[in-house]
Structures are given as C-alpha cells and as structure tokens.
Amino acid sequence: MSASATFELHYTDRAAINRANSEHSTGPRTETGKQRSSLNALRHGLTARTAVLPSEDPTAYQQHCRQFVDEYQPATPTETHLVQELADTSWRQKRIPILEASLIAEVPSPQSLVPALATLGLHSSRLSRQFEKTLAQLREIQFERRERQRRDLRDAAILLEFHRHKGIPWDPADSGFVFSKDQVERAAQRIMRLQESRTIEYFRFGSYSNPLNAPSPSTTTPGLAGL
C-alpha cells in the first residue's frame, strides 16, 4: 500500500471516529460540567468588548450612561473616555447579581454552585478595582483642569482690572485666554467681593480665613493683589 493510500485511510478512519463521537456527545452531563459550561458564557458577558449583551435593553444602557455624563460633566475627550469606562464597568457590575440569581434558580444544589459563584465573585472584585482606578484617574485629571482654569481666570481678571485702571481697552483673547469678557468680568467682581469680605473678617473678628494672605493694618482698600 502506498504512503498516499495509507494517509487517506487514516484520515478517513479519524473522520469517521470524530463523527461517531459527535453523535454520542450531548455536552456536559454532571452538575459541575453544566456549571462550567454556563460559566463560560457568563465570563464572555463580563469581559466582552461590548458592554451591552443582546439580551439587555439598549435604551436602559443609554440612560445609564447619561447619568454618568450628567454627574461627572466631562469636558475633554480623555474625560469623556474615562466617564464611558466608568459607565460600562458599572453596567457590568450591576449584571453580576442577576447572573448569580439565574445560576441559583437553574441549579439549586449549593455544592455545584460554589465554583461558579466564586468566579463571579472574582469578576466582581476585578470590576470594583477597575471602577475605583478609573474614577481616581478621572478625578485627578478634572482637578488639574479646574485648577488650571481657576488660575487662568484669576489672571485674566487681574489683567482686566489693570487695563481698566489704565483706561486701555482689553479683550481676553488678546492675551490668549479662552474666556469671554463677561466671564472675566464676573470673576473680577467675585474676587473683589471675596477680598472685601475677608478684610472685614480680619478687622472685625481678628481672624482671617487665610492668614498668609491677611491684609496688614494699613490696608484700607481691598483689591485683587491680595488673592
């Protein structure tokens, strides 16, 4: 018998064996096997790139995402990405109790449920860590952005008052600021009022909310320079 004929015979025998095995196979038969098989699908749902499963309501998911956007008010593409990651992670976290309830309903045997529930617990811990890490990143980025905006707005207010004092027209865009003139004017008025209130606090009550910036006794006119 030639080598080619031998190969074809072995290939035919193996194909026949595979078909026979597939006809007799009915999937996992034990409770543990069934739970392992079910858990494979659950893992896929919790780690899939798409947050929403075909069985879930996309409208509810969109509402869920809008709540996160409303809460964190992302102002940059990076912040928007992190807020979306928070929403998706939270959506998956909310799914875990539903999966646990479904497992318990399908397989009431406590012992056979232990591996599946333990794995769901690991997923829950992983998602919680991911949520906290993403939230920390978002808060840090937003804090830095808001602090930068606060400093820039204060600088713009000082420049506005300086130009007013000199009688020179000034527009925030001339100095590279992205604020409108109304925004800068409101900021200048707010700073002046705060400075006045702190000066009164110091002289009337003998204390100051920020001792390092407390006005000296000779100070009589509050202004922007003390902030």
d(CA 7, CA 182): 85
d(CA 181, CA 64): 37
Q: What angle do CA 82, 85, 86 make, to 5 degrees?
A: 90
| Residue 196 burial (CB count, 10 A) | 13
d(CA 144, CA 206): 34
* All structural domains of the chain with their residue ranges: 33-148, 149-213
Average pLDDT over the chain, rounded to whole? 78
Q: What angle do CA 118, 122, 126 make, to 5 degrees?
A: 170
Does residue 218 register a pLDDT over 80? Answer: no
Residue 200 has a pLDDT of 80
C-alpha pair distances (Å), 127 with each of 47, 87, 88, 135: 10, 11, 10, 12
Contact 202, 191 (CB under 8 A): no
Lowest-confidence pick of 75-79, 96-100, 219-223: 219-223
Task: Write the burial class of residue 187 (CB in 10 Å: 0-12 exposed, 13-18 middle, 19+ buried).
Answer: buried
Lowest-confidence pick of 73-82, 123-132, 185-194: 185-194
pTM for the model: 0.64
Predicted confidence band at 194 (pLDDT cuts at 50, 70, 90)? confident
Predicted confidence band at 77 (pLDDT cuts at 50, 70, 90)? very high
Q: What angle do CA 154, 182, 179 make, to 5 degrees?
A: 55
